[in-house]
Amino acid sequence: MPRPLVATIDISALRHNLAVARRQAGGAKVWAVVKADAYGHGLARGMRGFADADGLALIEPDYAVRLRELGWRKPVLLLEGFFDKADLLVAVQHEFQVVVHCEEQIALLETALPAGAQLDVHLKMNSGMNRLGFKPAIYHDAHARLRRIAGVRGIALITHLANADEADNPALPLARQLTNFAEGAQDLPGQRSVANSAADLLHPEAAADWVRAGIMLYGGTPCSRAAAEFDLLPAMTLRSEIIGVQNLDAGDAVGYGSRFVAPQPMRIGVVACGYADGYPRHAPTGTPVLVNGVRTSTLGRISMDMLMVDLSGIADAAVGSPVVLWGEGLPIDEVANAAGTIGYELMCALAARVHIEQIEQNNA
């Protein structure tokens, strides 16, 4: 019998969330972001769920090639562009579009782009986040340099927003970034891409020609509001079972480090899931979990292969009782918030040893 820990990926939820992203974007086209193996959901499953997207965007050139092998013929965008000449040649061969964010990439285009090749590029502006991109003052110069390269067919204009989920952040307000981008790209031709998931959900004024939807497509939210408020559905549900039950006396301790001590007699359950499966080790006592559909919480320190939960008030809980760690009935963002992290990390950290099942429901 296999270990009773299963991650269920709902393709129809992916499809539904893409429709939400498109609806929020107005008339803008949608890049569906599938980096990090589609946020842990699997590249092939992401491609299937996002079949109606206008393009797929990701970081990894090898995964981009895999998309072509799987049959994706619409645009593919490499969000960090190419890392060396070999990647550039792969991009040309497979007709990928590439982000250009530094002088070194432009120089490589000038010297290594094969004669007769045609490549669409997305010139990235550093509008204030200070990760990648050209600052507004030199953006026009970078654009002019790209235009002089014979093999550069089209130049789109792109930037990334640091605080779309916190528009009034005093260090970098959203309005300042939007102004920086507008002024730095003034009078330049080309389609524009500004909005990420947070902007798509909260700031329709940032939609431009394309939006780049990421976490929202998987049923997570990049802001403090619940995903369900935006009609987003969880695409990943992590389920397990109770594999052991212990009856504690007052004063009994639980788990490594004895971090939880029973204040009174109580029943606890042992769940087949731990940090080696991708559950956050730093999740504290009180992190929410469902047992038999009833909301309860973790107790003590998370182990490699197990975690403990409070069975108080769940009289019918026993070995074999179903457990939801996150997903359907328990938003992943609630678990992440309790653990001091974000839903993105939990999705991407799902371990290879976790069995994955794919379903499709009529909810799109």
Residue holding tokens 């038999």? 292
Q: Cα–chain-centroid distance for residue 312?
A: 35
Query: What angle, 0 to 180 degrees and rounded to 10, lies between the N-to-C axes of helices 61-69 and 85-93?
Result: 20
Distance, CA of 138 to CA of 183 (rounded, Å): 12
Distance, CA of 360 to CA of 364 (rounded, Å): 9
From the candidates 63, 74, 256, 275, which is the catalytic residue? 256
From the candidates 29, 35, 139, 275, which is the catalytic residue? 35
Distance, CA of 101 to CA of 130 (rounded, Å): 11
Give every CB contact of residue 317 below 8 A, 6+ residues apart in sequence.
242, 245, 267, 269, 291, 292, 294, 311
Residues 356, 6 contacting (CB under 8 angstroms): yes
Alpha-carbon torsion, ordered 228, 230, 231, 235, to 10 deg: -70
Strand pairing class (236-248; 55-58): unpaired
Count CB atoms within 10 A of the CB of residue 217.
Answer: 29
Distance, CA of 188 to CA of 182 (rounded, Å): 10
Q: Is 35 a catalytic residue?
A: yes
Sign of CA dihedral 153, 155, 156, 161: positive
The secondary structure element, H or E, covering residue 125 is strand 119-125
Q: Active-site residues: which are they? A: 35, 256
